[in-house]
Amino acid sequence: MSKSKRPGPFGPSSNTSKPAAPGKSGRGAPPKAAKGKAPAAPREKKPVAEAPLDEKLQKVLARSGLGSRREMERAIEAGLVKVNDRPAHLGDRVTPDDAIFFKGERVQVRTQVSRQRVILYNKPEGEICSRQDPEGRRTVFENLPALQGERWISVGRLDYNTSGLLLFTNDGELANKLMHPSSVIDREYLVRIQGAVDDEMKRQLVEGVLLDDGVARFTDIVEGAGEGRNRWFYCVVMEGRNREVRRLWESQGVKVSRLKRVRYGNIFIPSHVRVGQWIELNDKEIRDLLLTAGIERPKVSRLTPDERKRMERQEKRLRAGVGKRSPAAKQKKPRAPKDS
């Protein structure tokens, strides 16, 4: 994918077509009846269908900030959810009158998220994307800002040895939409390859390679810096399969020595957000992200004056190079090309 084809950050185009001009009779004036014809009878308005009172259980749990829909489906299957003191099952639907329990604690059901929040985290190598690790390794959640009555939900995952762009949100529905294959959101990675890479190998990787979980492919591969047997490449995938980028390259007999995600949809890592730091998206950026996810007419709650000041202070700290960084980011790593 050449740089000239890359979309600008947070900038999908919108439909700007103009509405039809009003008739000569003026706004609100009834149209004149044709001579010799009786005026047409007014059309009856069709009754508007009311929204159902019940919703899928996993959708309600996800909206409450407990995790993505997929995570909640796994929790239901594992017997961690009860509805009105009975074990829940996949396919259950609930109403506002039902009492829902998650891991023994009652869930405070919300009809909607208080305010959609999204943060971008520049993940370092050496952190996992789980909330807890039996081996005691650092997790990406340890360096995120605290939430009151909510929790951050990871939009996809990155491997322990993979760095780069990782999104978090407090809205489980948004997280599910961003991760679902039907949204067709591309992810771009910068990868350093050890081994010989020729045009035939790149052609096979673009056309498709059979992996253990089916056929996978890159939609684009562009050469970066480097010479000989240690070269950098930009590659794009449309799915979020486990270790997909590494497995694709390794299927060709070469080794991935460094891997960094540099783009998710229309979002890039800002230059002032160093490895191990995070920044919160503003209203416009969240609205554009919703459009990227296929959510039409997105409704985004505006920031309060205090929230806006807090975000401005955070960005000033990052630009000044004094923002807090994850301990894992302080370990010295080989530098990627400057245009990453």
Q: Which residues are catalytic?
A: 159
Q: What is the DSSP string of 10-70?
A: T------PPPPPPPTT-TTPPPPPPTTSPPPPPPPPPPPPPPPS-EEHHHHHHHTTS--HH
What are the backbone angles phi and psi of residue 176, rounded to the nearest 5°? Answer: -65, -40
Structure tokens at 122: 């520049």
What are the backbone angles phi and psi of residue 260, rounded to the nearest 5°? Answer: -140, 130
Helices (H), 158-198: 172-179
Is the Cα torsion angle 257, 260, 261, 263 positive or negative in sign?
A: negative
**Residue pair 94/60 in contact by the 8 Å Cβ criterion:** yes
- Which residues make beta-bridge pairs with 40? none
Structure tokens at 288: 């554009």
Count CB atoms within 10 A of the CB of residue 284: 11
How many helices, marked H, and strands, marked E, lie in the chain? 7, 17
User: How many Cα atoms are found within 13 Å in the side-chain-facing hemisphere of 168?
Assistant: 27
